[in-house]
Structure 1
Amino acid sequence: MAQRKIALACSVCGSRNYTIAASATRTQRLEVKKFCKHCGKYTLHRETR
Structure 2
Amino acid sequence: VRYILDLSKEQEVGFAEKVAAMALEAGFEPWNQGRSDDVHAVFKLKM
Which of structures 1 and 2 has the larger relative contact order (alpha carbons within 8 angstroms, sep 6+)? 1
With structure 2 as the length reference, what TM-score do the two structures score? 0.22
TM-score (norm: length of structure 1): 0.22
- If each structure's strand is expressed as a fraction of its own residues, which one has the higher value? 1
- Structure with greater helix percent: 2
